[in-house]
Amino acid sequence: MTISEPASRHLSLDEADAEANRQLTTLEGWRKFLDDSPASPVLLTPAELKQLPEIERALYDEDRLDHHARMLVVSTSFVEKTVVCGRRLVLLNRHAVSARRGLMVSGLPGTGKTSAITQLGRAHELLDRARHPHVADRIPVLYVTVPPAATARMVAAEFARFLGLPVRSRSNMTDIIEAVVGVCTDTRTGLVLVDEIHNVSQVTRAGSEVSDTLKYFSERIPATFVYAGIGLETSELLTGTRGAQISGRFTLVPTRPFPYGDEWKGLVATLEDTLLLHHHPPGSLIKLARYLHDRTAGMIGALSHAIRGAAIDAILSGTERVTREGLAAIPLDHAAESQKKPLKKVTR
């Protein structure tokens, strides 16, 4: 018996490098994110597995490892609320010529902020494509991240980089902004996603200039702006006069760790359904839902990491099942571990 090789194995070295370098913060990477829906490998029967030559068994296992390495986006109540609120604001802003409303998504690390805003972006762009079929010159969504210690020029350059516009050392801010605004206007950009916005501090001169640049973009580009970041409610983004302007125009959607309940159990069940393991008893992770909640402190990012990591270990070790012991062996992020077991103060 033979198994077909995924197309990714036939990529040239140059194509493989290009594939690895695709990011959401480029137009090519964003479109790849929208269009890339790889089919899951088929879990072979024990009889089919025995017939595989050694090299094909290794390739089969590699396909399953790659499957578990992919981050699954689960449609949680938070994602749904973000998409609904964002869609509503896009409609309300449709005929606005100034003072357009925006959306802020705030929460702890690992609670799904980036997943939520990118799903909003996906929904918006797919709807735009459906309304304008066979039109290739539209860029409905623009996605950027705010670098640490960002300057206004750095943020403007991030907008230009997404659009594929060259930013030369001699280009001044006006040149960059006008180029970005021109392309966004011509290509009917309707949604601008700005991630890592907590890197903007209104108490510093550089941060204030970044805030002013984003505000200027929002006035010049007829689009709905969406900010996402950590703890925005109490961040320095919302301090001072500039912060008050943002608070007065942006709707806040907070995200928090999931409480233990039916939705949490549903998340565990959804992730378990994606497992491609030969000896994993169906429903066994549901029985560990309480343990998983205690272990991850209700963080969906930590939950996904733990289950996918344990699945990868199960393939590599040959056990082919996710167990409580296997889950416990997966180190989680410091935030989840700290909430699970608060660090004791060192006494001297």
Q: List the structure tokens of 61.
A: 């296992």
Q: Which architecture characterizes domain 77-255 according to CATH?
A: 3-Layer(aba) Sandwich (3.40)
Boundaries of every domain in the chain: 54-70+259-340, 77-255
Residue 209 CB neighbours (<10 A): 17
Q: Give the SS3 label for residue 70.
A: coil
Is the pLDDT at 3 greater than 60, yes or no? no
Render 192-248 in DSSP notation, one character per residue: EEEE-GGG--TTSHHHHHHHHHHHHHHHHS-SEEEEEEESGGGSGGG-HHHHHHHHH
Q: In Å, what is the CA distance from 84 to each residue of 78, 124, 222?
A: 10, 11, 20
Q: Comparing C-alpha atoms, which of 273, 327, 268 is closest to residue 298?
A: 268
Q: Comparing C-alpha atoms, which of 13, 220, 25, 248 is closest to residue 117?
A: 25
Task: Encode 260-293: b = buried (16+ Cβ within 10 Å), e = exposed.
Answer: eeeebbbbbeebbebbbbbebeeeebeebbeebb
Strand order in the sheet with 141-145: 141-145, 191-195, 224-230, 102-107, 250-255
- Of the listed ranges 183-192, 234-243, 257-266, 328-337, the least confidently predicted one is 328-337
The string of pLDDT tens digits covering residues 76-119 is 999 999 999 999 999 999 998 888 999 999 998 888 899 999 99
Q: Give the SS3 label for residue 251.
A: strand
**pTM reported for the whole predicted model:** 0.85
CA distance 203 to 201: 5
Is the pLDDT at 39 greater than 90, yes or no? no
Contact 235, 198 (CB under 8 A): yes
Is the pLDDT at 252 greater than 70, yes or no? yes
